[in-house]
């Protein structure tokens, strides 16, 4: 599973499809697979979904404050990591 470093720890993510970048964030207690599974039939988009710190394979280090600001910072870091300048964004529950 691909990963990038955020705040000194690995954040894991998944991708599927090709086309316009579409960043989809999971709900509380879920992980990147939630969005990939829910949107598996989506055509024309490069679907990208990350495990927020404390979810899925991404641990939450002691120096990371949990919350929406942190989760938004993770998405920005993911965009930078993947060299994505613009994207469509979506999510469910906590990720919306």
Q: What is the pLDDT of residues 17-43, one digit of tens each?
A: 999 999 999 888 888 889 999 999 999
Torsional sign, CA 32, 43, 39, 68: positive
Q: pLDDT exceeding 90 applies to what percent of the chain?
A: 53
* Integer Cα distance of 34 and 13 in angstroms: 11
Three-state DSSP at 18 gives: coil
Q: What is the pLDDT of residue 62?
A: 67
In angstroms, the CA 35 to CA 18 distance is: 15
Q: What is the pLDDT of residues 63-79, one digit of tens each?
A: 666 778 888 999 999 99
In sequence order, what are the residues at sequence separation of 6 or more whose Cβ sits closer than 8 angstroms to the Cβ of residue 65?
none
The rounded radius of gyration (Å) of the Cα atoms in the chain is: 12
Residue with tokens 């300048």: 85
């Amino acid at each position: 599973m691909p990963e990038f470093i955020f705040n000194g720890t690995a954040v894991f993510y998944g991708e599927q499809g090709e086309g316009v970048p579409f960043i989809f964030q999971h709900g509380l207690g879920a992980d990147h697979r939630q969005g990939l599974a829910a949107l598996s039939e989506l055509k024309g988009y490069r679907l990208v979904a990350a495990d927020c710190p404390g979810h899925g394979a991404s641990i939450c280090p002691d120096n990371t404050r949990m919350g929406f600001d942190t989760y938004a910072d993770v998405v920005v870091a993911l965009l930078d990591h993947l060299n994505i300048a613009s994207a469509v964004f979506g999510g469910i529950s906590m990720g919306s």
